Amino acid sequence: MTRLAIAATVAALLAAVLLAAPGVVGSMTEARVRERVAAIDASDTASAEVTSFERGWFRSTAKIELRLAPNDFQVAFDGAESGLAAGILPIRVDFAHGPIAALDGASFGWSKLIARLDTEAPGVVELEQTLGVPYVFEFRGRTRFLGGLDFDADAPPFELPIDETLVTFSGAKLDGTFTDPQLAANLQVAAIAFSSQTGTFAIQDLRAGVDNELRSQYVMPGEAQLSIERVTISEAGGAVPLFELANLRVASNTGLDAAGELIEMRVDYDLDSVRIEQSEITAAKLGMAMRNLDVAALEAYGAAIEDAAGAVGSPGELMATVAPQLERALRAGPSLTLDPISFKLDAEPFEGRIALSTNTANLPAVGALNLDNPLHVLGLFDTDAEVRLSKALAERLTLLFAQVQLAVDGSIPPEQLEYMAEAQSGLLLTLLVAQGVLVEEGDGYASALTVVNGTLTLNGNPLPLGLP
């Protein structure tokens, strides 16, 4: 056979493969769509159904009805009794089959998809016209040859009057990858505001990101972040917001031990400032660490709670259902640490830490744990806590406490309330120092509390109170 004949044969075979591939990919795509929709339908958070799947050689179209939990999503239109008005999210997904997928441009891969609300479903066109957008959202995905999905999505900006409130949405963008079971995604919303005659609630520059392994509904090791640049609540015509939050950041990291049986999680909260009327909190930090969370107990507990939520039963029956999972979780020795706890209230500092750990040696025999006795349950935990605050902040907090206590009575005239609260707060603070609850340290106070085997110690002094 000549080289020319060999080349022609190879070209013919390649052409046959390329022409046959889209049909095979289309069949695989339909099977995968039905599998995914069935998985959603089997969950407790939503129901879903493939109402139609039109499969062609190079293109296919799926129509899916997604119904979230009751009342989670509902848009009403006069005269409509189905579609959005019935709480159903009708989705149309258009597929192009590879290896050269041509849909809104060509790309190399097994398939390409674009998903939007189905404009043939009741209420969708009316909603788009009301919002003044070409689509409510659009999700675009590309399946790679070696597996995995690259995706991006957006929701256009709109203004929507609802009763006497104007909702202003700047639009949202999403992008990421999914290679089962790993999900990495980033979301950005520039701004959203709710305005009325009385005032405005606004959020600016919301960003979120995840990079997690989706092992189950409850176990997702990996990292996640959330940040919000600004949140404000303003009165109409007011020059200064009644409430203003600046630069909130949340970061979490979740991991598993080598055996995949225990979870360890760390969450850090940072806030530059939050102002409520004339008071301002700055430099706020909260670190939360959880260790030795039993994976199997967590998943069983979550499933038991979901099952109980759909049934009618007494609190006692619910406790009996989750008690075995709670006991198993305690035997793994879980712990919770809050460190640091710090902020400044009008420039006056507060610092603290709290550590709770399970004393597994105090656990009774398997099956004998009595969750009906709160003191018995508290006796299973050891505690180590410290707090430090300035004297000015201590005075302010005791004054606030006295004001709240006196206001409960309701019989004290407002003009006397502040005077009496100041007198009581000074006496209370003196009493706390005299009894050793607070210890003076320079220009501030400190306090340390420990609970070990049910024995309480305050600032090094054992207390005559204990836990069984």
For tokens 């990101």, what's the residue?
209
Question: Which helix H or strand E contains 194, and what residues bound it?
Answer: strand 182-195
**pLDDT above 90 coverage of the chain, percent:** 42
Higher pLDDT pick, 253 / 325: 253
Binned at pLDDT 50, 70 and 90, residue 15 comes out as: very low
Q: Where do the domains of the chain lie?
A: 1-156, 373-468
d(CA 299, CA 430): 49
Q: Residues 255-273: what's their mean pLDDT? A: 94
pLDDT at 229 over 90: yes
| Calpha distance 161→164 (Å, rounded) | 7
pLDDT at 95: 83
Rounded Cα distance, 77 and 193, in Å: 23
354 against 64, higher pLDDT: 354
Give the pTM. 0.82
What's the pLDDT tens digit per position in 93-149? 888 775 555 566 656 555 778 889 999 888 899 889 989 999 999 998 888 766 788
Asked if 135 contacts 168 with a C-beta cutoff of 8 angstroms, the reply is no
Is residue 369's pLDDT more than 90?
no
Q: What is the pLDDT of residues 16-31, one digit of tens each?
A: 333 334 444 456 667 7
CA dihedral 305, 306, 308, 310 (to 10 degrees): 160
C-alpha 15 chain-centroid distance:
49
Q: Is the model's pLDDT at 310 over the cut of 80?
A: no
219, 235 in Cβ contact below 8 A? no
Q: For residue 191, is pLDDT > 50?
A: yes
Max mean pLDDT range (176-180, 346-350, 376-380)? 346-350
